[in-house]
Amino acid sequence: MTTGQKVSFQDIRNEVLARIQQRVWVPGSLLPTEHELAEEFGCARATVNRAMRELADRGIIDRKRKSGTRVNISPVKQATFEISIVRQTIEDMNAVYRYSLVHRSLNQAPAWLRAQLDLEDAAQVLHLNCMHYSDNRPFQFEERWINTAAVPSVVDADLTDTGPNEWLLTEIPFSNAEIAFTAVSADSKLSDFLATPTGTPLFQMERTTWFQDTPVTFVRMTFHQGYQMSTRY
Amino acid sequence: MTTGQKVSFQDIRNEVLARIQQRVWVPGSLLPTEHELAEEFGCARATVNRAMRELADRGIIDRKRKSGTRVNISPVKQATFEISIVRQTIEDMNAVYRYSLVHRSLNQAPAWLRAQLDLEDAAQVLHLNCMHYSDNRPFQFEERWINTAAVPSVVDADLTDTGPNEWLLTEIPFSNAEIAFTAVSADSKLSDFLATPTGTPLFQMERTTWFQDTPVTFVRMTFHQGYQMSTRY
DNA sequence: CAGTGGTCTAGACCACGGT
DNA sequence: CCGTGGTCTAGACCACTGG
Mean pLDDT of B161-178: 90
Instruction: Establish whether the CB of A159 is closer than 7 Å to any nucleic acid atom in strand D.
Output: no
Q: Residue B49 in contact with residue B8, Cβ under 8 Å?
A: no
* DSSP class of B30: B
- Of all residues in chain A, the percent with pLDDT exceeding 90 is 84
* pLDDT tens-place string over residues B66-90: 999 999 987 778 888 888 899 999 9
Is the pLDDT reported for residue B223 higher than 60? yes
Nearest to B147 by CA among B177, B173, B127: B127
Which pLDDT score is estimated for A76? 78
Task: Kindly tell me if the per-residue pLDDT of A3 is higher than 70.
Answer: no
Q: What whole-number distance in Å separates Cα of residue B225 and Cα of residue B197?
A: 10
Strand C nucleotides within a 7 Å radius of protein CB atoms: 2-12, 15-18
Instruction: Indicate whether A1 pLDDT > 60.
Output: no
Tell me, yes or no, if the pTM score tops 0.95: no
pLDDT band for position A5 (cuts 50, 70, 90): low
In this structure, are strands A61-64 and A68-71 parallel, antiparallel, or unpaired?
antiparallel
A-facing residues of B in 4-33 (CB < 8 A) are 17, 20-21, 23, 26-27
Contact yes or no for B183 and A184 at CB 8 A: yes
Say yes or no to pLDDT of A4 above 60: no
Is the pLDDT at A2 greater than 80? The verdict is no
Query: Do the beta carbons of residue B83 and residue B179 sit within 8 Å?
Result: yes
Instruction: Determine what percent of chain B is predicted with pLDDT higher than 70.
Output: 98
How many whole angstroms separate alpha carbon B210 and alpha carbon B219?
12
Average pLDDT score over residue span B42-61: 95
- pLDDT, residue A80, reads 87
Strand, helix or coil at B16? helix
The 10s digit of each residue's pLDDT in A165-200 is 999 988 888 888 999 999 999 999 999 999 999 999
Measured between beta carbons, which residues in chain A are less than 8 angstroms from residue B202? Answer: 183, 201
Which chain B residues in 194-223 lie under 8 Å from chain A, judged by CB atoms?
A: 199-204, 211-212
Element at B91 (helix H, strand E): helix B86-92
| Summary mean pLDDT of chain A | 93
Which amino acid, residue B82? E
Which residues, 6+ apart, have CB-to-CB distance to B160 below 8 Å?
Answer: B101
Q: Which amino acid is at A197?
A: P
Contact in structure between B111 and B84 (CB atoms under 8 Å): no
Note whether B27 contacts A80, CB cutoff 8 Å.
no
Distance in angstroms, CA of B177 to C1' of D5? 32
pLDDT, residue B2, reads: 39
Q: Where are the beta strands (DSSP E) in chain A?
A: 61-64, 68-71, 77-83, 97-108, 124-134, 137-147, 176-185, 201-211, 214-223, 229-232
Q: For the segment B17-37, what is each residue's pLDDT rounded down to a tens digit?
A: 999 999 999 999 999 999 999
Say yes or no: Cβ of B200 under 7 A from any atom of strand D. no
Mean pLDDT rounded to a whole number for chain B: 93
- Using CB atoms within 10 Å of the CB of residue A88, give its burial: 0 to 12 exposed, 13 to 18 middle, 19+ buried: middle
pLDDT digits over B105-147, tens only?
999 999 999 999 999 988 999 999 999 999 999 999 999 999 9
> Would the Cβ of A103 be found within 7 angstroms of any atom in strand C?
no
State whether the beta carbon of B10 lies below 7 angstroms from any atom of strand C.
yes
The B residues from 102 to 131 touching A (CB cutoff 8 Å) are: none
Instruction: List the end-to-end C-alpha distance of chain A, in Å, as a whole number.
Output: 22
Cβ–Cβ below 8 Å for B79 and A81 = yes
Nearest to B183 among A80, A83, A201 (CB): A201
Contact B222, B190 (CB under 8 A): yes
Q: What's the pLDDT score for residue B165? A: 93
Which B residues 148-187 touch A at CB under 8 Å?
169-170, 173-185
Cα separation of B60 and B56, whole Å? 6
Give pLDDT tens digits for A116-154: 999 998 899 999 999 999 999 999 999 999 999 999 999
Q: Per CA to C1' distance, which residue is closest to C7?
A: B8
Q: Residue B26 CA to D9 C1' — how many Å?
A: 36
Looking at residue B5, its pLDDT comes to: 64
Model pLDDT, residue A7: 84
**Once rounded to an integer, what is the mean pLDDT over residues A25-52?**
96
pLDDT (mean) for B171-190: 93
Domains, chain A, in order of start with CATH, read 9-71 (1.10.10.10), 86-223 (3.40.1410.10)
For C4, nearest residue by CA–C1' is A66
Chain B residues within 8 A of A141 when measuring between CB atoms: none
CB pairs under 8 A between A and B: 158
The rounded percent of chain A whose pLDDT value lies above 70 is 98
Distance between CA atoms of residues B103 and B130, nearest Å: 7
Q: Does residue B90 contact residue B101 with C-beta atoms inside 8 Å? A: no
Q: Is the CB of A67 under 7 A from strand D?
A: yes
Euclidean distance between CA atoms B156 and B147, whole angstroms: 14
